[in-house]
């Protein structure tokens, strides 16, 4: 499996790697700076640079065995297996995903209902909730969400065993996506401290280090999606008040 640099150092913008395979316009590397599509978060994009060559990475996906596959732009020349490459991340796009992803974790705190789906993009995200009736006070939800952001809470990770997760099913908020099990341990993302936990749930995505980095969050539409589902959209704004 590919070493996940995106997980061990989500703020890294460049990283070296060795090409281990090339097939059908995809490059497999031994250590990936690029996050592969999963959990509602899009795959990262950027560039590969090596001696005598360069190629655009349009997105990243994960093979069945867990290997990260960097999908090159159509017609791009791929580096040969064994080549040492420098991975250069589209950082602004990734950082926008990190901010939105962390904000969605907080949204699941202020709306403590089962999550039936979700999606992340740069500056915008949404969660679908098992919510028969729409919230009565949308403004209060937005205020509560931004109050959590303003607390500048630390965002950290911890790991538990598959057995510990099975014994604590309440940690899993998503009904549509089950956390990956079968490898012996599961990653949990914690918002808050060990003594004062605001949110704790299985997640493989990338997040900011502290909640204040998210910025101002604006609640968008709350749409009915089926008899018991409501889709809640959020926008994460830059300092000038616009979404990136």
Distance CA 126, CA 106 (A): 12
Q: What pTM did the predictor assign?
A: 0.91
Percentage of residues of the chain with pLDDT beyond 90: 75
pLDDT, tens only, 86-103: 999 999 999 999 999 999
70 vs 172, residue with greater confidence = 70
Distance CA 135, CA 141 (A): 8
Report the residue count for the chain: 244
CATH class of the region 94-236: alpha beta
pLDDT value of position 58:
98
For the chain, the domains span 3-89, 94-236
pLDDT value of position 159:
83
pLDDT value of position 175:
54
98 burial class (0-12, 13-18, 19+ CB within 10 angstroms)?
Answer: buried
pLDDT value of position 185:
81
Distance CA 142, CA 15 (A): 38
pLDDT, tens only, 59-76: 999 998 888 999 999 999
pLDDT value of position 180:
60
Fold annotation for 3-89? Elongation Factor Tu (Ef-tu); domain 3 (2.40.30)
Asked if 3-89 and 94-236 have one fold, the answer is no
């Amino acid at each position: 499996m590919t070493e996940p640099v995106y997980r061990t150092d989500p703020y890294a913008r460049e990283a070296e790697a060795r090409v281990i395979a090339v097939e059908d316009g995809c490059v497999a590397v031994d250590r990936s700076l690029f996050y592969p599509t999963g959990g509602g978060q899009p795959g990262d994009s950027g560039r590969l640079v090596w001696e005598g060559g360069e190629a655009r990475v349009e997105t990243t996906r994960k093979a069945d065995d867990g290997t990260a596959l960097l999908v090159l732009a159509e017609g791009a020349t791929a580096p040969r297996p064994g080549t040492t490459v420098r991975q250069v991340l589209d950082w602004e796009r990734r950082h926008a995903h990190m901010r939105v992803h962390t904000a969605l974790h907080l949204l699941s705190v202020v709306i403590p209902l089962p999550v039936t789906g979700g999606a992340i993009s740069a500056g915008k995200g949404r969660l679908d909730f098992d919510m028969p009736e729409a919230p009565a006070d949308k403004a209060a939800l937005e205020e509560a969400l931004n109050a959590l952001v303003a607390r500048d809470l630390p965002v950290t990770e911890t790991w538990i065993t598959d057995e510990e997760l099975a014994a604590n099913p309440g940690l899993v908020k998503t009904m549509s996506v089950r956390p990956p099990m079968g490898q012996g341990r599961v990653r949990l993302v914690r918002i808050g401290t060990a003594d004062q936990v605001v949110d704790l749930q299985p997640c493989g995505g990338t997040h900011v280090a502290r909640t204040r980095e998210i910025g101002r969050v604006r609640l968008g539409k709350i749409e009915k999606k089926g008899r018991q589902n409501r889709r809640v959209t959020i926008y994460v704004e830059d300092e000038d008040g616009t979404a990136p």
